[in-house]
Amino acid sequence: MRCAYFDAGVCRSCTWMGRPHGEQVADKERHCATLLGERADLVWLPPVTGRESGYRNKAKMVVGGTVEHPTLGILDGTGQGVDLQGCGLYPGSLAATFPVLAAFVTRARLTPYDVPARTGELKNLLVTQSPDGEVMLRFVLRSQEPVARIRKHLPWLLETLPQLRVVSVNLLPDHKAVLEGDREILLTDTQTLRMRVNGIDLHLRPQSFFQTNTEVAAALYRHAASWVEELAPRTVWDLYCGVGGFALHVAAPGRDVVGIETSVEAIASATLSAADLGLSGVRFAAGDATEFALGAVAPDLVIVNPPRRGIGDVLSRWLEASDVRHVVYSSCNASSLARDLAAMPSLRPVRAQVLDMFPQTTHYEVLTLLERA
Ligand SMILES: C[S@@+](CC[C@H](N)C(=O)[O-])C[C@H]1O[C@@H](n2cnc3c(N)ncnc32)[C@H](O)[C@@H]1O
Instruction: Determine the average pLDDT of the residues in 267-285.
Output: 96
Q: How confident is the model at residue 81 (pLDDT cuts 50, 70, 90)?
A: very high
Residue 203 lies in a domain: no
Asked whether residue 145 falls in the same domain as residue 89, the answer is yes
What pLDDT, on a 0 to 100 scale, did the predictor assign at position 157? 98
Residue 232 lies in a domain: yes
- Exposure string of 258-287, with b = 16+ CB inside 10 Å and e = fewer, is bbbbebebbbbbbbbbbeeeebebbbbebe
Asked whether residue 110 falls in the same domain as residue 43, the answer is no
Residue 189 lies in a domain: no
Q: In degrees rounded to 5, what are phi and psi of residue 233?
A: -70, 155
Asked whether residue 79 falls in the same domain as residue 41, the answer is no
pLDDT tens sequence across 319-366: 999 999 999 999 999 999 999 999 999 999 999 999 999 999 999 999
Measured CA to CA, the distance from residue 345 to residue 158 in angstroms comes to: 54
Asked whether residue 234 falls in the same domain as residue 150, the answer is no
What pLDDT, on a 0 to 100 scale, did the predictor assign at position 40? 87
Asked whether residue 104 falls in the same domain as residue 15, the answer is no
What pLDDT, on a 0 to 100 scale, did the predictor assign at position 105? 98
pLDDT tens sequence across 131-188: 999 999 999 999 999 999 999 999 999 999 999 999 999 999 999 889 999 999 999 9
Average pLDDT, the chain: 97
Instruction: Determine the average pLDDT of the residues in 302-325.
Output: 98
What pLDDT, on a 0 to 100 scale, did the predictor assign at position 318? 98
Helix axes 21-36, 334-342, angle to 10 degrees: 20
Asked whether residue 67 falls in the same domain as residue 179, the answer is yes
CATH number at residue 267: 3.40.50.150
Does 240 carry a binding-site annotation? yes
pLDDT tens sequence across 115-133: 999 999 999 999 999 999 9
Ligand 1 pocket test: pick from 180, 228, 240 the residue with the most ligand atoms within 8 Å of its Cβ.
240
Percent of the chain exceeding pLDDT 70 equals 100
Residue 195 lies in a domain: no
> Nearest residue CA, atom 12 of ligand 1?
240
pLDDT at 90 over 90: yes
What pLDDT, on a 0 to 100 scale, did the predictor assign at position 140? 98
Asked whether residue 48 falls in the same domain as residue 74, the answer is no
Between the CA of 264 and the centroid of ligand 1 the distance, in Å, is: 11
332: annotated active-site residue: yes
The verdict on the CB of residue 263 being under 6 Å from ligand 1 is: yes
CATH number at residue 137: 2.40.50.1070
What pLDDT, on a 0 to 100 scale, did the predictor assign at position 209? 94
Asked whether residue 42 falls in the same domain as residue 64, the answer is no
Domain that holds residue 238: 4-52+212-372
Asked whether residue 43 falls in the same domain as residue 128, the answer is no
The verdict on the CB of residue 242 being under 6 Å from ligand 1 is: yes
Residue 204 lies in a domain: no
What pLDDT, on a 0 to 100 scale, did the predictor assign at position 55? 98
Residue 102 lies in a domain: yes
Residue 73 lies in a domain: yes
Q: Considering 3, 14, 32, 332, which one is annotated as catalytic?
A: 332
**Domain count along the chain:** 2
Burial class for 128, CB neighbours closer than 10 Å (0-12, 13-18, 19+): buried
Asked whether residue 364 falls in the same domain as residue 216, the answer is yes
What pLDDT, on a 0 to 100 scale, did the predictor assign at position 262? 97
Asked whether residue 237 falls in the same domain as residue 358, the answer is yes
What pLDDT, on a 0 to 100 scale, did the predictor assign at position 177? 85
Instruction: Determine the average pLDDT of the residues in 199-216.
Output: 95
The verdict on the CB of residue 246 being under 6 Å from ligand 1 is: yes
The verdict on the CB of residue 211 being under 6 Å from ligand 1 is: yes
Asked whether residue 69 falls in the same domain as residue 44, the answer is no
Residue 206 lies in a domain: no
The verdict on the CB of residue 266 being under 6 Å from ligand 1 is: yes
